[in-house]
Amino acid sequence: MTNCKNLYKLIDGLNGKIKKLETNKNISESTIESYKIYCPKDNHTNKKYLALLFESNTNNYDSDNSSSSKNLNSSIKLKKSNVIINYFIQIELNSTTLCSTICSLFFGIKKKSDSKVKIIKGTKYQFDLTKIPIVNNKINISNTILYISDENEELCIVIDFSSYCNISSNKSVIKILYV
């Protein structure tokens, strides 16, 4: 029951922040960009963290699931603006017998001045494969983030997944609203 109350508090806080953004800038001037999300082909290497890839063509929803013929980037260049980021990521599990494995996903910001990635506060999502709801061998992760971007910032999604996990590119999408 306390989790529901916490969720309602978060939603109320988010609604308040959205209203503040609407009063600061006319919502009709805003733009939305959508990107499909892909997992790198070498997602099961010895690297601990991997950056997910984004299709460089915005608002492209063709049915082709193959990433080999697409121009993919590891980050999205953000405009200097107030940004609302909404994402849905579907993870397919390639095994029915799973061991207790902690996986994580977080949003980060890369600046042109250095190569370090700064985690956006509140975006780290950790889960244990044996303790999260799995439906038809799939896990769904979705959320909305408010962020104020500066000039020359790039958004990336970094994962630390088990070899059992694959990103379902035909279902995973990120939408960015600039207000």
CB-based contact 33:175 (threshold 8 Å): yes
In the numeric block, the tokens 């978060």 are attached to: 10
Does this model's pTM top 0.95? My answer is: no
The yes-or-no verdict on residue 62 having pLDDT over 80 is no
Residue type at 66?
S
- Average pLDDT value for residue range 66-92: 85
- Distance of alpha carbon 57 from alpha carbon 177, whole angstroms: 16
- pLDDT tens, position by position, 96-127: 667 788 889 999 998 777 778 899 998 999 98
In the numeric block, the tokens 């993870």 are attached to: 91
- Distance of alpha carbon 148 from alpha carbon 155, whole angstroms: 12
Please name which of 45, 31, 55, 18 lies closest in space to residue 170, comparing C-alpha atoms.
55
Q: Of how many residues is the chain composed?
A: 179
Joined together, the tokens standing for residue 85 give: 């980021």
- Average pLDDT value for residue range 59-72: 60
Q: How many CA atoms lie within 13 A of 105 on its CB side?
A: 21
The yes-or-no verdict on residue 45 having pLDDT over 60 is no
Cα 122 versus chain centre, distance: 12
Domain spans of the chain, in order of start = 27-178
- Distance of alpha carbon 91 from alpha carbon 80, whole angstroms: 31
The CATH code for residues 27-178 is 2.60.120.40
- pLDDT tens, position by position, 134-163: 888 899 999 999 999 988 899 999 998 877
